[in-house]
Amino acid sequence: MEYLPDSNTRYKDVDYWNERYRTEESFEWFGDFTKFEHLLKQHVGTEENVLMLGCGNSALSYDMYQAGYTSITNVDYSSVCVESMAERYKDCAQLSWLCMDARRLAFPDGVFDVVLEKGTLDAMLVEETDPWKVSEKAAQLLHQVLLEVRTFDFEGLQLSEFWRPLVSRYIKVSRVLKPGGRFISVTFAQPHFRKRLYARAKYDWSIKHYHYGSSFHYFLYVLTKGEGLSPEDAALERRLLEETEASATDVKFQEVDSEDFLNNIGL
């Protein structure tokens, strides 16, 4: 527990990670490769081009390389981490190491078959206090990462409802994930919490999830680009939108109430 931060919010801080990686050799969040190898093998081909997002000092990429994976690009925003991992695995040409922020990936469009993250989004979401209600700040942060990972943002195009589905179907402008590519997310977050973030038609992906681990369950989400949401996940998105609209209306009513209250007491 030597590396436990004084406050959880520090997990969001690059200085915390740099400091930690100066002395910590290796740490495996949510278990090592052997715990979910059976799931990864179902969804990631050994010849596929993989991007590891927020690699940390975990041995996951090396273990995958040992298991036959031939191309894994590792990024982390901690320069200390990236330098020591590049040195440690300098003899593995199949593994590359780059210092990069997951919110601003410097890769051309559509280059990866798979983007894999283990605990990186969890580290970004540490300030969330209510898992049932995603804060606007967290939603924006996640949106930045997911937009980088998945596809073109049609929101910005200002298309009418008639043109939007046609354009999104035929113009496959992609960010780093190829069409048919998968975003794989390994986390402690249970489906009833995490699906609230992933179930968005605009990400143009389907959601599958699995669990692993015996005493404590972890979750592995596979989001496949171009497949679209299942009817249940589309219904979840609609419900969430309705909840958001309802809570916005509540806030408006509260504002009106408080104005009336101020008027009534003559202020």
Ligand X SMILES: C[S@@+](CC[C@H](N)C(=O)[O-])C[C@H]1O[C@@H](n2cnc3c(N)ncnc32)[C@H](O)[C@@H]1O
Q: How far is the CB of 136 from ligand X (least distance, A)?
A: 18
Classify residue 184 by its DSSP letter.
E
Whether the Cβ atoms of residue 117 and residue 194 lie closer than 8 Å to each other: no
Whether the Cβ atoms of residue 84 and residue 52 lie closer than 8 Å to each other: no
Contacts with ligand X, residue ranges (CB under 6 A)? 17, 27-29, 54-56, 58, 60, 76-78, 81, 101-103, 118-120, 123-124
- Report the residue closest to ligand X, judged by CB: 56
Q: How far is the CB of 154 from ligand X (least distance, A)?
A: 24
Which lies closer to ligand X via its Cβ, residue 122 or residue 204?
122
Token readout for 50 is 């993989």
Which lies closer to ligand X via its Cβ, residue 71 or residue 244?
71
Q: How far is the CB of 119 from ligand X (least distance, A)?
A: 3
Whether the Cβ atoms of residue 74 and residue 96 lie closer than 8 Å to each other: yes
Which lies closer to ligand X via its Cβ, residue 18 or residue 206?
18
Which lies closer to ligand X via its Cβ, residue 56 or residue 233?
56
Q: How far is the CB of 258 from ligand X (least distance, A)?
A: 38
**By C-alpha distance, which of 113, 108, 1 is closest to 47?**
113
Whole-number Å distance between alpha carbons of 28 and 254: 46
User: 35-59: b or e for each residue (b if 16 or more CB lie within 10 Å)?
Assistant: bbeebbeebbeeebbbbbbbbbbbb
Give whole-number Cα distances, 9 to 17, 19, 69, 131, 150, in Å.
Answer: 12, 15, 34, 16, 27
Q: How far is the CB of 53 from ligand X (least distance, A)?
A: 7
**By C-alpha distance, which of 151, 50, 65 is closest to 109?**
151
Q: How far is the CB of 241 from ligand X (least distance, A)?
A: 27
Q: How far is the CB of 144 from ligand X (least distance, A)?
A: 9
Which lies closer to ligand X via its Cβ, residue 125 or residue 229?
125
Which lies closer to ligand X via its Cβ, residue 186 or residue 236?
186
- Relative to beta strand 95-99, strand 112-118 is unpaired
Query: What is the Cα gyration radius of the chain?
Result: 21
Question: What are 225's strand-pairing partners?
Answer: 205
Which lies closer to ligand X via its Cβ, residue 18 or residue 244?
18
